[in-house]
């Protein structure tokens, strides 16, 4: 069984969603569900902090795309911060590094 913890905190530019653990088939629904309830305003930037994400499979990648779609439908931006090397490699292979703004850390991602 995989474990996932998702923590949300507010910043001046919008929410930071920290993903801790494994984002996979068994847990990705939690991220999708969170985004259906996450209040977003136009112009905000949602940052997904992946520094402590241990694993991400195709279901996890799909959940990241769903999060992006939800943010865009609210008129908000989305960015990924501290993407682990193995996940970054997958994002590059499928071209999602051209879709998601990528930042080395949360601090650079939340700068206006």
Rounded to 10 deg, the angle between the 28-37 and 58-73 helix axes is 10
pLDDT (tens digit per residue) in 82-95: 999 999 999 999 99
pLDDT single digits (tens) 2-56? 699 999 999 999 999 999 999 999 999 999 999 999 999 999 999 999 999 999 9
- What is the reported pTM? 0.94
* Domain 4-110 falls under CATH 3.30.750.24: yes
pLDDT of residue 74: 97
Domain ranges of the chain: 4-110
Angle, CA 5 vertex, CA 30 and CA 23 arms, to 5°: 60
User: Whole-angstrom Cα distance, residue 111 to residue 44?
Assistant: 12
**Do 42 and 13 contact (CB within 8 A), yes or no?**
no
3-state SS assignment for residue 27: coil
Q: Which residues is 80 bridged to in the sheet?
A: 48, 102
């Amino acid at each position: 069984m995989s474990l996932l913890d998702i923590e949300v905190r507010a910043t001046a530019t919008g929410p930071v969603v920290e993903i801790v653990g494994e984002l996979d088939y068994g847990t990705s629904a939690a991220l999708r569900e969170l985004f259906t309830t996450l209040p977003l305003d136009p112009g905000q930037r949602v940052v997904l902090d992946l520094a402590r994400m241990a694993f991400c499979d195709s279901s996890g990648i799909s959940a990241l795309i769903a999060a992006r779609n939800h943010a865009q439908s609210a008129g908000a931006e989305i960015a990924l911060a501290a993407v682990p090397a193995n996940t970054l490699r997958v994002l590059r292979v499928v071209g999602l590094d051209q879709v998601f703004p990528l930042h080395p850390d949360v601090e650079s991602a939340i700068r206006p």
